[in-house]
Amino acid sequence: MQEEKQTNITDHLLDVFNYSFVETMPYGFFWTKDARYMPVNLVDKRYHCPKCQQEFTVKYHHTGVTYFSKTRMAAQRQIYAELGLDFPAEDAIAAEQPFHYEAIGYCQACADQEVRQSPEFGQRIYNLCEKLHQADELLAAKARRLMDQAVERWLTGITKSEQLLQYDLSSHEALRDLICAIILEDGEPFEAVLKEYSGEAMALAEEIRALNAKAPETWTAYTARSTALYESMADDLYHEYTVVFPEAGQQARSFYVQHIIERDRVEMFLQQPRITTLEELFMDAGFHEEWIDAVVDKGLSLQE
Ligand SMILES: [Zn+2]
């Protein structure tokens, strides 16, 4: 439990999951005069779910023009046509008129019915990877909650200042050591969640591995993408000039879009180290300063 987390397995797993299934472009050098790209005054992204007809808009943080690859622009032209929208004239885009980025896919509710139950081979592989990813994230969240509860339980048992004074509270360091010891002593619930996770993660990994062994090199499936995530408007790279960020403060939702999945990246996601020991679990959750504040507050309330 260190503040400077040496190995944060969960964050690393999230990065690899995103690299494998969400934003798959590597960082690349970019030259604005490159004829394969064009500057666009991109203002927002409009999401359309054809199943329930729901539409919603996410505003982009505006910092000037965003560079689109021409292939991405050609794909946008097709999506506009599919939606029955008029595509802006070339000179309007060149004159930096506001441009709306359109996306067709499933909203979360429709994806729950259509995508996540799909028996289709390639979709199933992704669905299982998504499940494994959710299990990875849930373990970290559960560990954090259990740590909060362990500190809370211990503090509830302290009703007199003498009880606190038997501990070394002389420094920040001493308080940290004390809190770590309290959490470690309360290990049983952590073992239970870790055991549950390990069983689920192992079973999922085994199922994915067996399917992936029979998969082609690449295939297309619907993958979830948070509407709060940045996005590159180039197909083969990301760079400050090609990336857009949603404005802060907008509701984040999952939206399912068609995505090319690579067998090697599925394998890479499976091969990452996952949490197997209590020590890793504690290290991963990290130390939280709020616990020190809670102990100090308790001490102060008992002095009154
Ligand atoms: Zn829908």
Please give the C-alpha separations between residue 230 and each of 58, 61, 112, 242, in angstroms, as whole numbers: 11, 10, 24, 10
Annotate 53-87 with DSSP letters as a single string.
--EEEEEBPP-S-EEEEHHHHHHHHHHHHHTTPPP
Has residue 257 got a pLDDT over 50?
Answer: yes
53 Cβ contact partners less than 8 Å away, ≥ 6 residues apart: none
Chain segment 259-284, per-residue pLDDT in tens: 999 999 999 999 999 999 998 999 89
Residue 105 Cα to ligand 1 midpoint, Å, equals 8
Rounded to the nearest whole angstrom, what is the distance from the C-alpha of residue 46 to the centroid of ligand 1?
A: 14
Q: Which amino acid is at 9?
A: I
The pair of structure tokens assigned to 268 is 């890479």
Query: 97 C-alpha vs ligand 1 centroid, how far in Å?
Result: 30
Angstrom distance (rounded) from CA 107 to CA 257: 9
Q: How far is the CA of 117 from the centre of ligand 1 (A)?
A: 15
| pLDDT, position 1 | 47
On average, the pLDDT of the chain sits at 91
Query: Which of these, 26, 31, 39, lies nearest to 72 by C-alpha position?
Result: 39
Residue extents of the structural domains in the chain: 9-303
Phi-psi region of 25 (alpha: psi -120 to 50; beta: other; left: phi over 0): beta
**Percent of the chain predicted with pLDDT > 90:** 72
For 258-293, letters b (16+ CB in 10 Å) and e give: ebebbbebbeebbeeebbeeeebbbbbbbbbeebbe
**What's the CA-to-centroid distance between 201 and ligand 1, angstroms?**
30
Q: What is the pLDDT of residue 240?
A: 85
C-alpha span between 37 and 23 (Å, rounded): 19
Instruction: Quote the ligand 1 centre to 55 CA distance (angstroms).
Output: 9
Q: How far is the CA of 107 from the centre of ligand 1 (A)?
A: 4
Tell me the CA–centroid distance for residue 254 and ligand 1, in Å: 11
Ligand 1 centroid – CA 50 distance (Å): 7
pLDDT tens track for 175-233: 999 999 999 998 899 999 999 999 999 999 999 999 999 999 999 999 999 999 889 99
Q: How many angstroms is it from 111 CA to the middle of ligand 1?
A: 7
pLDDT band, very low/low/confident/very high, at 5 (cuts 50, 70, 90): very low
pLDDT of 2 > 50? The answer is no
Q: Is the pLDDT assigned to residue 4 strictly greater than 50?
A: no
The strand pairing partners of 57, in sequence order, are 46
Residue 155's pLDDT is: 94
23/102: higher pLDDT: 102
Nearest to 169 by CA among 186, 185, 182: 182
Chain centroid offset of residue 92 CA: 36
**What residues contact 152, with CB distance under 8 A and at least 6 apart?**
294
Residues with CB under 5 A from ligand 1 (ion): 49, 51-52, 54, 107, 110
Q: How far is the CA of 284 from the centre of ligand 1 (A)?
A: 36
CA of 106 to the centre of ligand 1 (A): 5
